[in-house]
Copies of this chain bind each other. A is one copy, B any other.
């Protein structure tokens, strides 16, 4: 058994095997995160910001520490650039709000066919408000951004908003190439880190992006919390998005003035328990040996890809190599519906997978399909999970194909 499982309460007591391969949808929560959440709720529960009693003081300090943990995880220059959101989706909506005033009618937001709906719809709504439009970077047969085509797409591009890693094909984006494009065109670069954040600490300064969003529940934290990082000058350049308590400086009935970032974008009582637990999850992640975990993930992904490739009638979507990818693999079994695969793998083999369009309909269309089966790896997975998957698929194929 993978010893890292001891850090995950999901594996504590089980009456049946938990071959959890739906990590791209949500990961399991790590023990430090759950413990931090319970500790907050039991010992420190109180509102943050301006409670002067000791209980509130502890909660506020823990909340500030969580912001610092996020800063360290992203290697952001300052905690003031860390905005807590309810998840990647709100983060990306906030990003679109922050940048939308830079768009003039006719301007273009460059997205890609790989994008999750959460990194498409906010930009569509912003584009509609400003008379701008979206243009998509095409995707290769290998499920990667076709960056060869980048230069022909440059006209009037003001914002580039793409995923850092695909939740369908696992492809990791060549950010350096996009950074160069943005340097040449003056566009701003927004990365959707929802998938990438589960695979170890990041360096937004080295990446050279302008805004970066991710969700806690995909990187071993709780649901309902996420982070938007942004360059301070960008955060400071925009009007507020949501209005309410804590984001103001001065309120009268007629008008209000607003707090500086990050508070300007944190209206109302924040998800305090969620933020504190996310901080603990990020600290857990930063304490891991990601060289080893990355090698483990590549090994398991390779075993999975090889096994799938030798399964009759199995079509893999995207690259079959193990480099420049995360352990997310999509495939289809000929003549077997994705949901039938998923249901049987769970009920008969204890393997949890996702079937569907994975909130990436433009990519499904690109691949001329409607739904794939997806298996996705986390540090607690091991060879037994992959074997159960492959054996299960073989059994399903015999039963249904």
Question: Which A residues are closer than 8 A to B by beta carbons?
Answer: 9-10, 12, 18, 20, 22, 25-26, 28-29, 34, 37-38, 41-43, 45-47, 50-56, 86-90, 92-93, 96, 111, 113, 116-118, 120-125, 133-136, 215, 217, 222-225, 240, 242-248, 250-256, 267-274, 339, 342-343, 345-347, 352-356, 359, 361-362, 365
Cβ-defined partner of A274 (8 Å) among B118, B274, B361: B274
Quick check: B87 and A269 within 8 Å, CB to CB?
Answer: yes
Quick check: B346 and A242 within 8 Å, CB to CB?
Answer: no
CA–CA, A356 and B246, complex, Å: 12
Quick check: A217 and B269 within 8 Å, CB to CB?
Answer: yes
CA–CA, A224 and B29, complex, Å: 17
Quick check: A46 and B352 within 8 Å, CB to CB?
Answer: yes
Quick check: B121 and A362 within 8 Å, CB to CB?
Answer: no
Quick check: A223 and B271 within 8 Å, CB to CB?
Answer: yes
| Copies per complex of this chain | 2
**19 A-B pairs whose Cβ atoms sit less than 8 Å apart in the complex:** A20-B55, A26-B45, A37-B37, A52-B343, A53-B346, A86-B224, A89-B243, A90-B268, A117-B245, A118-B245, A120-B243, A120-B251, A121-B247, A122-B243, A135-B253, A215-B268, A215-B269, A223-B273, A248-B359
- Chain A facing B: main interface SS: mixed
Q: Given A118-B268, A247-B121, A359-B245, does the pair A134, B253 have CB atoms closer than 8 Å?
A: yes
Cβ-defined partner of A224 (8 Å) among B45, B93, B225, B240: B225
Please name the residue on chain B nearest to A218 by beta carbon. Answer: B269
CA–CA, A135 and B252, complex, Å: 11
CA–CA, A362 and B87, complex, Å: 32
When distances are taken between beta carbons in the complex, the residues of chain B under 8 Å from A134 are: 253-254
